[in-house]
Structure 1
Amino acid sequence: MFGRVKKWFGIEGTKIRLHVLPSYPRNVKTINGEIEIYSKRPERVLAIKLKFIEVYTRGRGEDKRIDEFLLGTWEYNKPIEVSDGNPHMLFFKLEFNPVESAMDKRAGKGPLLRGVVNMMKSMKGVQSDYRIEAEAIVEDNTWNPLAKARILFD
């Protein structure tokens, strides 16, 4: 009975881990990496889903606004058998389309404008954070394992 309770809560069940580079150049259009899937007991993973998300923050204090943009997705829909001591590695290539603000478009028109735009962005508290979220759909699990990785752009 205790085993069923642990399975229901996702304790000692299937786990996933993302292996990606911590930073990428600004002009890249794909994120490459690996997903490590492991478990202490035999389980069946039905699918893996990845999302690449931008969290766009602007303003300060009470005027602070936050938006999230889904930049790209990747899915693997073939069943994977995971057993004790045998992690499964899965390579992915996640393509995405970056969202450019009006300020970013102006900054791309030359080095002089880039400096002015960067100064304006810092004054207004504009910031973008990027992350990859991975979810494994596990057979007969109530809660699916999740993993997140932060991505920085140079």
Structure 2
Amino acid sequence: MKQWLGIEGVKLELVLPEKFSVEQGTLEGKIRMYSKNAQTVSGLRLVLIEKYTRGREEEQLVDEYMLGELIIRDEIPVPAEGEIVEVPFSLPFEPMQSEVDVFGSKNFLYKGLAWVARKTRNAESEYRVEAEAQVTGVGLSPFVQQVIGS
């Protein structure tokens, strides 16, 4: 029962760079996996998500956008007793631009106006990476998410 629920199964950790810029277009990192019992990971799914908030207090609006997704379909054996397996990844993504960002990219004068508009609207973005592993013989897939700095 414990194995089917994933209680003593595969655990995931994300190893991400300290610096992140949305202009990069690709996010390099590693997924670290370990388990108390020997298991096989049959696939990994990674997603980069932007959480875009604007407004203040009761009028605050929040939207989330999936910027990129990577599916790894390799079979990866994860040995027992906490031996760590690392899988490097390169997650391509397309940044989203708000109307203010598009306006600001037209020339350097508009860039300053766009910055003022974002500050006035209290607009900001937060980025996170989510990873999920498909494990053979397990009903609940291990999952991890981590906010990445920009």
- Pair 1:42 & 2:15 matched: no
Who is 2:26 aligned against? 30
- Pair 1:71 & 2:67 matched: yes
Who is 2:144 aligned against? 147
**Runs of 4+ residues over 6 Å off in structure 1:** none
Gaps of 5+ in 1: none
> Which letter maps to 1:145?
P
Who is 1:60 aligned against? 56
Separation in structure 1 between the aligned mates of residue 144 and residue 18 of structure 2, nearest angstrom: 15
Gaps of 5+ in 2: none
Equivalences, count: 149
> Which letter maps to 1:103?
V
> Which letter maps to 2:91?
L
Distance verdict in 2 for CA 1:68–1:26, change over 3 Å: closer
Separation in structure 1 between the aligned mates of residue 18 and residue 52 of structure 2, nearest angstrom: 19
Q: TM-score, normalization: structure 2?
A: 0.91
Q: TM-score, normalization: structure 1?
A: 0.89
- CA offsets, 1:84-114, max 9 Å, x none? 2422111100000001011011222333322
**Which stretch has the larger CA shift, 42-51 or 53-62?**
53-62
1:64 CA drift (Å): 1.4
Who is 1:112 aligned against? 109
Q: For residues 98-109 of structure 1, what are the structure 2 equivalents within 5 Å?
A: 98-109=95-106
Percent sequence identity over matched residues? 34
> Which letter maps to 1:78?
D
Separation in structure 2 between the aligned mates of residue 7 and residue 65 of structure 1, nearest angstrom: 41
RMSD over equivalenced CA pairs, Å: 1.5
**Which stretch has the larger CA shift, 46-55 or 121-130?**
121-130
